[in-house]
Copies of this chain bind each other. A is one copy, B any other.
Amino acid sequence: MNQASSTPDKAVLIDMYRKMTLAKQNDEQARKVIMSGKLPMIYYSPRGQEVIPAAVSVNLGAEDYICTIYRGIHDMLAKGVPLDSLWAELAGRATGTCKGKGGPMHITHPESGCMVTTGIVGSSMPIANGLALASQVRGEKRVTVAYFGDAASNIGAFHESLNMASVWKLPVVFVCQNNRYGEHTRFEKATAVERIADRGAAYNMPGIHVDGNDPLAMYAAAKEAVERARAGEGPTLIEAMTFRFYGHVFGDADGYMDKAEKEAAMAADPVPRYRQWLIDEGYASDDELTTMEDETGKRIRAAIDGALEAPWPDESELYTDVYVNDFSAA
């Protein structure tokens, strides 16, 4: 653990762990319920990447926005998307955040600031700019975070977004979760630069390369970037190094992965590591954390149970929400 000078106070440290354990346990339950056959869905597990949104989100308020991606359930949970309507959406039910129309790749929950979840690589960034632009024009202090993956840094939208954000000094933080693979392709095979953070220079934008599995380092990076954005000083690019434990899509044959690298990454699971650190440093007792974990686990199970019993959307829902005033879409 990189004990930075700016170690946050206890409440924040505990809050980060709360977010991490929520995301980790949610993922465990998700994989379980998929395996059980009770809730079939295509699932992009973010297991292993929990530290990043936990550390980012403790620097954000409910009014701040995020735009995330198909592999963003940890980002959503850290930002406060409620478990019940999230799970109902995953199950395609009428009580889901999006009435079952969006599904796992398109969770939206404006109340908690989760504005867009996208399935198109690179597309979180241009939309995040727009949210930030609205805040800037209105003179609000709101910050927008765009999450995306390492491979997304090779697509045109990344380039256009970072350039525009920099030229207009938009209050946005670009958080690249570098898990070293884009689908089955290793980072190095697709990306000409060694560090994505170095691409910041191409936009005259600070680029921070950070161990995204180190909560204190990640916290410091996020804090700096969020403060810069909030102060009207413009955008930051953060490259947070991490690893995804369960391949591209849960269930994929991971023959394309470097086994040793994967095993090492899993052995260095950042969540239990941080847990131990909290105990070692006296921020929490094992019991306290166990209680928190148990309670979190219960809430998740309840959300899943509730989702599985929730009503399906009525077929008429197929035709609504196309336009503000429903023309017949049939």
- A interface list, Cβ under 8 A from B: 154-160, 162-163, 166-167, 189-194, 198-199, 201-205
List, sorted by A's number, 20 A–B pairs whose CB atoms are closer than 8 Å. Answer: A154-B159, A155-B159, A156-B156, A156-B158, A156-B160, A159-B159, A163-B191, A163-B192, A167-B190, A167-B191, A192-B202, A192-B203, A193-B201, A193-B202, A193-B203, A193-B204, A194-B204, A198-B202, A199-B202, A202-B202
Assembly stoichiometry (copies) = 2
CB contacts (< 8 Å) of A166 on chain B: these are: 192
Q: Which of A156, A194, A203 has the most CB of B within 10 A?
A: A156
The residue from B154, B159, B190, B202 contacting A201, defined by CB atoms under 8 A apart: B202
Interface of A is mostly: helix
Beyond the given A158-B159, A193-B204, could you list 14 further A-B residue pairs with CB under 8 A, ordered by the A residue number? A154-B160, A156-B156, A156-B159, A159-B160, A162-B192, A167-B192, A192-B202, A193-B201, A193-B202, A194-B204, A198-B201, A198-B202, A201-B202, A202-B202
Q: How far is the CB of A235 from chain B (nearest CB, A)?
A: 10
For residue A168, which residue of chain B has the nearest CB?
B192
Q: How far is the CB of A23 from chain B (nearest CB, A)?
A: 31
Q: How far is the CB of A161 from chain B (nearest CB, A)?
A: 9
CB contacts (< 8 Å) of A189 on chain B: these are: 167
Q: Give the CA-CA distance A193 to B118 in the complex, in Å.
A: 29
CB contacts (< 8 Å) of A201 on chain B: these are: 193, 198, 201-202
Q: How far is the CB of A236 from chain B (nearest CB, A)?
A: 13
Q: Give the CA-CA distance A159 to B159 in the complex, in Å.
A: 6
Q: Give the CA-CA distance A157 to B193 in the complex, in Å.
A: 17
CB contacts (< 8 Å) of A199 on chain B: these are: 202
